[in-house]
Amino acid sequence: MVRNIVVLGGNSHPQMTENVCNFLGIPACNRILSKFSGGESRCEIKDSVRGKDVYIIQSGSGHVNDNLIDLCIMISACKIGSAKRVTAVVPLFPYSRQPDWPYNKAGAPLSKSSESAKKDYTFESVPPTPRPGGPRSAGLANGVNGLTEKLTKNPGAEANGDAAPKRSDTLSSVSSASNNNNNGVYPDLTQRSFTTHDYENQTNINGFRPKPGYKQWVAQAGTLVADLLTCAGADHIITMDLHDPQYQGFFDIPVDNLYGKFLLQNYIQTHIPDFREAVIVSPDAGGAKRATAIADSLNMDFALIHKERRPIKFTDHRNASMMLVGDIANRVCILVDDLADTANTITRAAKLLKREGATKVYALITHGVFSGDSIARVNASAIDKIVVTNSVPQEEHRRLCPKLEVLDISPVFAEAIRRVHHGESISALFQYA
């Protein structure tokens, strides 16, 4: 049992709070965290936090914005309640994908001229990502094609195993998508959610198509969120696998960015037969460091998927193509990424790998956000097995996705809390993992 420590849970991940408390041998702090009828948050800390070392567990999942405000309010309540130190434990850090200026990515140029290079493309990516309220996908050949029809017309199909599982928000998104009459050409950004792929695809926004290279003005939300938490009174942040590790520099309080890598590595070693014959694959250039770190540690081969986004003509606004760099034919492939949100990135990557001769495709991801109809997309995809941590709740995803396996990271967070509390090294936590 650890003394003089308080663990307070938000509403985003009760299971994580319970697991961490069990590990530390303490009960969770008694509190009220609810809503006034007008929607404002109400927080009352029922146990004394005076002079205590407080850890508040809240992940960037579910109603992300509500949970973020709740976190700020809980931090402030503890500070005002004379806590000695307040640490925000945020397994998936919200807004950490928005730390800098948005980009109008042109992508790295191919080494050959576009026409000759085209012959060597291993995959042409055309369909936009289907999402709630968005236009209907032109269809992905990997099985998502016709998925919405299956889900709408055949709700009993799940039981028969002949269609991807349905879920209520998927069905509502399907019906709203079919009502969205914009000729299916461009998504209407005022009607549906935005994904990072919209930056990549240089999507038409309110009739305005940005010129390649032109950056639209967009809020720097990552900076604001860092400031909000600090301003609320956070003394310290513990998180895991920040999309951009440099995001730590946006804070002027200590940030411990734990690694999911060790759990993923352990999975590879213990669950993938002859894993040294397999190939670690990064689904995009941005994740190459993360994936090579695992490949190097396990002495495995590495391959990379490069997204070529440079438009050949100005009108060629959706000219993104994927190219595989590396030899994966007749090998097992292990995709490694920090996050699956729409699951567009990993499902497209898996399709490409199977086309290039991969015998089996695993996807190992730290944060399984799985928004919109992404679970249906994963079920219909070329991915054979997808492994995520429970940095956000996974019970519902697991129920809907037979390919999904979940690794429990609560012991890692509990041990990090114990070490921070006792002033012990965090890096030592990973030395023998």
Q: Are 144 and 186 in contact (CB under 8 A)?
A: no
Q: Are 99 and 222 in contact (CB under 8 A)?
A: yes
Q: Are 74 and 33 in contact (CB under 8 A)?
A: yes
- Pick the closest to residue 130 from 332, 372, 307, 375 (CA basis): 372
Report, in Å, the least distance between residue 367 CB and ligand RP5: 9
* Beta carbons within 10 angstroms of residue 3's beta carbon: 8
Report, in Å, the least distance between residue 56 CB and ligand RP5: 26
- Please name the residues in contact with 37: beta carbons below 8 A apart, sequence gap of 6 or more: none
Report, in Å, the least distance between residue 197 CB and ligand RP5: 6
- Please name the residues in contact with 63: beta carbons below 8 A apart, sequence gap of 6 or more: none
* Closer Cβ to ligand RP5, 265 or 366, answer by number: 366
* Closer Cβ to ligand RP5, 53 or 338, answer by number: 338
Is residue 317 within a helix (H) or strand (E), and if so which, with residue range? none
State how far the Cα of 197 lies from the Cα of 368, in Å rounded to an integer: 17
CA 202 from chain centre, in angstroms, equals 21
- Cβ-defined contacts of 314-321 (< 8 Å, 24+): 314/211, 314/212, 317/201, 317/202, 317/203, 317/204, 317/209, 318/126, 318/128, 318/201, 318/202, 320/107, 320/125, 320/200, 320/201, 321/121, 321/123, 321/124, 321/125
Query: Is residue 431 helix, strand or coil?
Result: coil
Site size toward ligand RP5 (CB under 6 A) is 17
Site for ligand RP5, residues 330 to 389, rule: CB under 6 A = 337-345
CA 307 from chain centre, in angstroms, equals 19
* Closer Cβ to ligand RP5, 6 or 335, answer by number: 335
Stretch that binds ligand RP5, among 34-42, 161-169, 282-290, 323-331 (CB under 6 A): 282-290
Q: Which of 287, 311, 368, 372 touches ligand RP5 by CB under 6 A? A: 287
Report, in Å, the least distance between residue 419 CB and ligand RP5: 28
Binding flag, residue 97, ligand RP5 (CB under 6 A)? yes
Report, in Å, the least distance between residue 19 CB and ligand RP5: 26
Strands 321-325 and 301-308: antiparallel
* Closer Cβ to ligand RP5, 70 or 341, answer by number: 341
Report, in Å, the least distance between residue 296 CB and ligand RP5: 19
Stretch that binds ligand RP5, among 2-10, 147-155, 279-287, 312-320 (CB under 6 A): 279-287
Site for ligand RP5, residues 186 to 245, rule: CB under 6 A = 195-196, 243
Report, in Å, the least distance between residue 427 CB and ligand RP5: 24
Binding flag, residue 68, ligand RP5 (CB under 6 A)? no
Stretch that binds ligand RP5, among 68-76, 230-238, 284-292, 328-336 (CB under 6 A): 284-292
* Closer Cβ to ligand RP5, 143 or 287, answer by number: 287
Distance set, CA 148 to CA 7, 153, 166, 171, 384 (Å)? 43, 8, 9, 8, 21
CA 18 from chain centre, in angstroms, equals 23
* Closer Cβ to ligand RP5, 17 or 148, answer by number: 148
Report, in Å, the least distance between residue 207 CB and ligand RP5: 25
* Closer Cβ to ligand RP5, 19 or 203, answer by number: 203
* Closer Cβ to ligand RP5, 17 or 347, answer by number: 347
Q: Are 339 and 388 in contact (CB under 8 A)?
A: no
* Closer Cβ to ligand RP5, 10 or 260, answer by number: 260
Stretch that binds ligand RP5, among 29-37, 262-270, 283-291, 382-390 (CB under 6 A): 283-291
* Closer Cβ to ligand RP5, 54 or 365, answer by number: 365
Report, in Å, the least distance between residue 243 CB and ligand RP5: 6
Report, in Å, the least distance between residue 354 CB and ligand RP5: 18
Residues in touch with ligand RP5 (CB under 6 A): 97, 195-196, 243, 283-284, 286-287, 337-345
